[in-house]
Amino acid sequence: MFDSLSDRLGKALGDLRKRGRLDDEAISRAMREIRLALIDADVNLEVVSGFVERVRERALGADVLKSLTPGQQVVKVVHDELTDLMGEGAVELELGKRSVILLAGLQGSGKTTAAAKLALRFASEGRRPGLVAADLQRPAAADQLEQLGGQIDVPVFRTETADPVEASRSGLERAFAQGLDTVIIDTAGRLQVDDQLMEELERVVETTRPTSSLLVLDAMTGQQAAEVATVFQQRIAFDGVVLTKLDGDARGGAALSVKAVTGRPIMFISTGERLETLEVFHPERMASRILGMGDVLSLIERAEKAVSADEQTAMELRMRKGQFSFEDFLQAQRMLRRMGPLQGLLKMMPGMGQLSGIEVDESRLKRVEAIILSMTPRERMIPHLIDGHRRRRIAAGSGSSLQEVNQLLEARKMMEGMMKQMGKGKMPALPGLAELPGAAPMARRSATKKKKSKRRAGRR
């Protein structure tokens, strides 16, 4: 979502990073670019003005101008202000022995899916969640909730009534009667805010007395999301925000505006269609992503969720022994895919977020999997058995070319070689370095130096 904003902020701050000294003109030019970048990202105008003014004031302070690296200090100032703009830190829901979570928002914001994602998250934390279908406005909303509940093995309570208050009350009573401890109420939305929606919500809130009320906002709506949040806040006083569709092409205005406008924190973000893609929102990590600094902590958390302890132990033992069969190759690839889209994972790595234009063709990963699955179990475990005849058979069985099979065999051999070096405590040389821009000239200069030294030795 933040790709465009990240690129523009990177360019605005890039010149400052290189400077040994800063002056008012350089800072003013950077602030102008930052302002334009935020406006283009559809951030609320008042929020933009306040943000730029705070950054300018701190950038012109003595602590920055007299530091050894003033450009880097300005980047830190921008990072700190971005973090403050989105919140002081991660805010978790406070859940008691019996908790009621009410979800509100406009139609199309993703409330029903968000309800199921929250239920799955609570279930993974050892709680016993249930879902109440109180969206009686959208056709088939209750059917959708029942389908999602079935996927995650969470009970859904629906009532054959046209009254959302009665549906909420009845569902809540039945859920607690079954011994559930966390009930999520999916309320109705409209295409736009209206009095009927708000009056209905107020009656549901008054009847169910939720432990927490969350507003579900679509990140695609930009700064309009902040305006919607303000209206909801005046009527139901929600506790936090669930921001959905961050995997889309939204420009980031909602995430950067809603906290500053309403004072309510973003608690969760939805980063994909799968029900597992709901994360606690960390403002400082998001600020790092926006500035191309990566997000190692979130990357580690995803890896821990995607890989079981037994898988980690087994893989670590084989790596220490320098073993890497095609079974290991296949397992590693599948674990990586469980962590989410590779494009998103790359941007969590420090420095990779600044490499704009990088595209990951995930269809090639499926082709690799097809090649490995066309091998026999013995071939996967003992790759050196694969001779020319077997290579042709594998290529035909997977619908690949012989060249693609050969490339995969070489890639596995290279990975095994690197792991053997790592097992001996050595840092392996990175493959493909000679093809990198600037690497070939360096290699030629090194070779030239060796030739000159030989000639000198011969003359001596």
Region label for 189, one of left (φ > 0), alpha (ψ between -120 and 50) or beta (otherwise): beta
Domain boundaries, the chain: 3-86, 99-300, 302-430
**At 129, which helix (H) or strand (E)?**
strand 129-134
State how far the Cα of 56 lies from the Cα of 53, in Å rounded to an integer.
5
**Residue 257, both tokens:** 């505006």
Confidence tier at 441 by pLDDT (50, 70, 90): very low
Confidence tier at 437 by pLDDT (50, 70, 90): very low
Report CA dihedral (249, 250, 256, 257) to the nearest 10 degrees: 180
pLDDT at 185 over 90: yes
Q: Minimum mean pLDDT among 6-10, 241-245, 314-318, 399-403: which range?
A: 314-318
pLDDT at 409 over 80: yes
| Residue range 30-51: mean pLDDT, rounded | 88
Write down the pLDDT at residue 230: 86
Model pLDDT for residues 108-153, shown as the tens digit of each residue: 888 999 999 999 999 999 999 999 999 988 888 999 999 999 999 9
State how far the Cα of 198 lies from the Cα of 201, in Å rounded to an integer.
5
Q: Write down the CATH superfamily of domain 3-86.
A: SRP54, nucleotide-binding domain (1.20.120.140)
Confidence tier at 383 by pLDDT (50, 70, 90): confident
Using CA atoms, how far residue 105 sits from 29, 248, 306, in Å, is 40, 19, 31
Write down the pLDDT at residue 366: 80
Q: Minimum mean pLDDT among 17-26, 215-224, 291-300, 344-353: which range?
A: 344-353
pLDDT, averaged across the chain = 80
Write down the pLDDT at residue 445: 41
pLDDT at 289 over 80: no
pLDDT at 218 over 70: yes
pTM of the model: 0.66
State how far the Cα of 277 lies from the Cα of 423, in Å rounded to an integer.
35
Domain 302-430: give its CATH architecture: Orthogonal Bundle (1.10)
Percent of the chain with pLDDT over 70: 76
State how far the Cα of 83 lies from the Cα of 85, in Å rounded to an integer.
5
Model pLDDT for residues 345-369, shown as the tens digit of each residue: 666 565 555 444 455 566 677 888 8
Write down the pLDDT at residue 174: 95
Please give, one letter per residue, the 3-state secondary structure of 258-277. HHHHHCCCEEEEECCCCCCC
Write down the pLDDT at residue 350: 55
| Residue range 64-71: mean pLDDT, rounded | 69
pLDDT at 84 over 70: yes
pLDDT at 257 over 90: no
| Residue range 42-62: mean pLDDT, rounded | 87
Write down the pLDDT at residue 164: 92
pLDDT at 413 over 60: yes
Write down the pLDDT at residue 121: 93
Write down the pLDDT at residue 158: 92
Say which residue, 388 or 337, is predicted with more confidence: 388
Write down the pLDDT at residue 175: 95
**Angle at which helices 24-40 and 70-86 cross, to 10°:** 30
pLDDT at 373 over 60: yes
Write down the pLDDT at residue 227: 83
Write down the pLDDT at residue 452: 47
Write down the pLDDT at residue 211: 93
Domain 99-300, CATH 3.40.50.300 — does that match? yes
**Residue 255, both tokens:** 């995430």
Beta carbons of 102 and 205 less than 8 angstroms apart: yes
Confidence tier at 333 by pLDDT (50, 70, 90): confident
Confidence tier at 242 by pLDDT (50, 70, 90): very high
